[in-house]
Structure 1
Amino acid sequence: MRPDLSQVPGVLGEIARARAREVVPYPLPAPPPVPSFREALRGGGLALIAEVKRASPSEGPIRQVDAVEAAKAYAAGGARAISVLTEPHRFGGSLADLVRVREAVALPLLRKDFVVDPFMLEEARAFGASAALLIVALLGEGTGAYLEEARRLGLEALVEVHTERELELALEAGAEVIGINNRDLATLRVDLDTAPRLGRLARKRGFSGVLVAESGYSRKEELKALKGMFDAVLVGTGLMRRADLAAAVRELVG
């Protein structure tokens, strides 16, 4: 069920192949009850998924921050969900961050990682995530199988796309939450026109689920193009660079 990662280009391929080598199944705890990720984003207006993010391949080190402190500040500022990076090498995250944040806040958590093995979905559910990221650029035609496995585990999924072809695969797989990434994960270039363009296409194709815009947002005026079409926006670096995280959340989405 693992995808063939040999032809995945650029930084995305490097990270995904490294993560695949590191997956070694082990006994997991019983999964705790968790709130719904999808329903939290449907609460009206443009919801914010605030991300705990210490570093990235495009930015390098961003901020050395305690995951719990950041999550609590995000919750206080009005974020509807929290994305917790668990990739350790390029993003400085860990599963321990996910566990600690789950114990500290009541919001839905997204496990943000490069899922390339079904066991990573089991980990996400066992350690308190409401949802996991599924990247179509990695999973390809296997996206539907990973989505089914997530549902079997009681885990929701943010199915991420960057191109029209990836959007078609997400729609064919039956995704209920689709994230449109402005960043090309192979080249790391950002184009803020990507989310509105593919968002319009998704709605035109009859997608009535939750749409999430991702990457490149830091100012409230940049979100104007999303309103009325998108349900949520995911922001990491743009928040992490602000001294007062709670205030940054309030300023971004009101």
Structure 2
Amino acid sequence: MKQKFIDQIGNQHTFDTVPKRIVSLVPSQTELLFDLGLEDAIVGITKFCVHPFHFKSTKTIVGGTKNVKFDKIKELQPDIIICNKEENTKEIVSALQQICPVWVTDIYTVEDNNKMIHDFGELFNKRTNARKWIDKINFGLQDFQNFIKDKKENKAAYFIWANPFMVAGNQTFINELLKLNKFTNIYETKEGRYPEIELKKIRLEGDPDLVLLSSEPYPFKDEHAFEIGRFTHHAKTIFVDGEMFSWYGSRLVKAFEYFKAIHHKIA
């Protein structure tokens, strides 16, 4: 019997049977698919899909998130390709649609994240596993909200790139998680989702209490902390695990515990 599904950008998909061969072009979603019990169904991943570690040697690498090897994907004969609106371009998605159905996720909030997990549960007949992960996330969220409720607000700048320096802005999952931590993003009102900034204006543009230097996509080092520190007079600089702030999916369960550790460090 044909089943109809709608992805997070409103595309309708019809499947006669549960998709059995999956290509995932989003690292965090690869991890989620594994955690939902779909290891055997995953046939292709990107070079950035580093969790679980053994996938590097057991799955076919089909390029990066922005640089896809279409011929390799075609050879894998997938039933479905999993993409994300932010990670993969419109042009890539259009080209992939010539191969097979392309499911696109679009995630800014924890609610969006839970919807994605629910959708995958329906789509791949893993409803019980999906429910378990959603419950774990909701429990972790509630526990973290209790932990954070008496903490004071801190103004923050979350750096994702150097030379040029770029930060997380509005309409990003990172921004949502900053808010959850009571970190007021000083660049939330700046135009663009990942705006380029001038270091010398950082105090004028918000004077952060915290400078968060992400481990990905750019590997920040001590010299960047010193360079940024020249323009902030009192900000505490913290190197943070970028996966915890930007990976959606099952990773969130670990993120809540990680955030607690950051607050202990700040205190």
Task: Determine if the TM-score, normalized by the shorter chain, exceeds 0.5.
Answer: no
Question: Which protein has greater RCO, CA pairs closer than 8 Å, 6+ apart?
Answer: 1
* The structure with more radius of gyration: 2
TM-score, structure 1 length as denominator?
0.29
TM-score, structure 2 length as denominator?
0.28
